[in-house]
Structure 1
Amino acid sequence: MAENHNRTAPCHTERVVGGTTVVEMRGDIDILTTPQLSARLDALTAGRSPDLVVDLRPVAFLDCSALRLLCRVRNRVMARQGRLRLVADTSRLLRILRPTGLAGVFEMHQELPAVLFGARHHDSVHHDSASATAG
């Protein structure tokens, strides 16, 4: 029996803008999809002083495993004296973050250009890989 799921498969694109790695995530981020995203985000935050922007605006669905992934990425970035910013429909994301007590934990923005303008004033060391320029 084939099951019909109305799921949007996760995917992401990466680009580097002024030393900041911008990851745009799309689709559903849930318990089935976070392992593959986690491996890529681990690689992007492995260096010293990572400067990472995660654009969640195109994400259709987030569950608690997605929140755990974002917290893990934040902890990795902070431990390496880096910076993590989330770009999202703030009201939608806050509806998820408030009940968990995470509303004040992340640096959040509603639009990408504002984030990148701020990134130009933040020096960071970033090691690019060939796949980091996909998109």
Structure 2
Amino acid sequence: MRPEPRQESAPLTRHLRVREDRGHTVLEFHGEIDIAVADELAPRLDRVTDRRGARIVIDLRNIEFFDCSGLRLLYRARTRVLDHGGTLHLVCTQPLTLRVLRVTGLARLLPPRPTLEAVLEQPETAPGSW
């Protein structure tokens, strides 16, 4: 039997919702992720990625715009999670965002998955993996 996902009652900001699901912390980004929003989200991301052995999923399916500030957030989150022995997965289906991830090479470091289920149902990976 699968445990019920635990969800927060309200988003942390209009651009970020954090919830727990099957042992993972899921960060759902919403709307436009630009420099102003990235500055707002960075401290929240730092708190979530500062835990030893954290299992993090960043879900970009609900974004409308994503610039280099968003890329910096992803790279910083990846670095922090790996430094703390955790895992980080990315969910993305937005064609323009996928293209930016590929062109910048971030897709090689953080391969995007097509669905949240594809991440949450995969077997546990070794600490330090993506």
Query: TM-score interval w.r.t. the shorter chain?
Result: 0.7 to 0.9
Identity of aligned residues (%): 41
8 Å contact 1:27–1:60 — kept in the other structure? yes
Count of equivalent residues: 115
TM-score (norm 1): 0.77
- Relative to the length of structure 2, the TM-score reads 0.79
Root-mean-square deviation over aligned CA pairs:
2.0
Return the match for 2:92 from 88, 92, 107.
88
* 1:67 counterpart residue number: 71
Deviations along 1:11-69, whole A, 9 cap, x unmatched?
A: 22111112210111101101111011111110001110111001100000000011011
Bigger relative CO (Cα 8 Å, ≥ 6 apart) = 1
Provide the residue aligned with 1:121 in structure 2. 124
SS at structure 2 position matched to 1:54: strand
Seen in structure 2, the aligned counterparts of structure 1 residues 82 and 107 have a Cα distance that, compared at 3 Å, is farther
Q: Structure 2: where are the runs of 5+ without partners?
A: 1-12
1: CA distance between counterparts of 2:62 and 2:30? Answer: 5
Q: Structure 1: which 5+ runs fail to align?
A: 1-8, 125-135
